[in-house]
Structure 1
Amino acid sequence: MSYYYYYYIGYIDKKDNKIYPYGPYTRKDKENIACVLDYSQSFDEEFSDHFITIPSEMYSDELRNTNHFAGCLKEDYCPEPKYCKVSELPTGDFVKTGYFLIKDVVKYMKDKDSDVFYDRLDPVTYNGMVASELQFGKPEKAIDDFGEEYVPNSAGDYMYFAYPDYSCAEYKAHQLRLILDGLMDFEDEYDETKEFVILETEG
Structure 2
Amino acid sequence: MFSGAQISLYPMTDDFVGVITSALGALDPYRNQLRIETDDISTLLVGPLEVLFPAMRDLFSAAARSGKHCVLSATISRGCPGEPDDAICDSFHFEGPVAPLAERQATALAAVQDAPDIGVFSVAQLSLYVLGQGNHMDEIYGCIDFLKQSGTFEKSKHFATKLNGDTGALFATLEQAFCRFGSPQGHVAIDLTVSANSPSAR
TM-score (norm 1): 0.21
TM-score (norm 2): 0.21
Whichever of the two has the greater Rg, that structure is 1
Q: Which structure would you say has the larger RCO, counting Cα contacts within 8 Å and 6 or more residues apart?
A: 1
